[in-house]
Amino acid sequence: MSPQNYTFMFFGFTVAWLIVIGYVISIALREKNLRKELDRVKRMVEEGEQTRR
């Protein structure tokens, strides 16, 4: 089997997996940011209610 063939196949698989991993990482980062934002807004609402009382 020609080595060039194997190189390209390796590239092909690598690219596919990189895209998948990259996408999963972006989802994970988004999850972290969303949780931070949610906690911040929840705190904002609680503070608002406390100052009203």
Partner 1 sequence: MRLKIIVTLTAVAGLILAWNLYRIFLQVPDEANQGAIFRIIYFHVPAAITSFTGFYIAMFSAIGYLVTKDLRFDSIAASVNEVSLALASITLCTGSIWGRIIWGIWWTWDPRLTSFFVCWLIYVGYFMLRRAIDDPTARARLSAVLSIFACVDIVLVWKSIEWFRTQHPGPVLEIRGGGGMAPGMEAPLWWNFLALLMLATALILIRTRQETMKLEIDALRRHAHAF
**Interface ranges with partner 1 (CB under 8 A):** 1-2, 4-6, 8-9, 11-13, 15-16, 19-20, 23-24, 27, 30-31, 34-35, 37-38, 41-42, 44-45, 48-49, 52
CB 20 to partner 1: min, Å: 7
CB 51 to partner 1: min, Å: 8
Give the separation between CA 34 and CA 45, rounded to whole angstroms. Answer: 16
Where are the alpha helices (H) located in 1-53, listed in sequence order? 3-52
Residue type for position 20: V
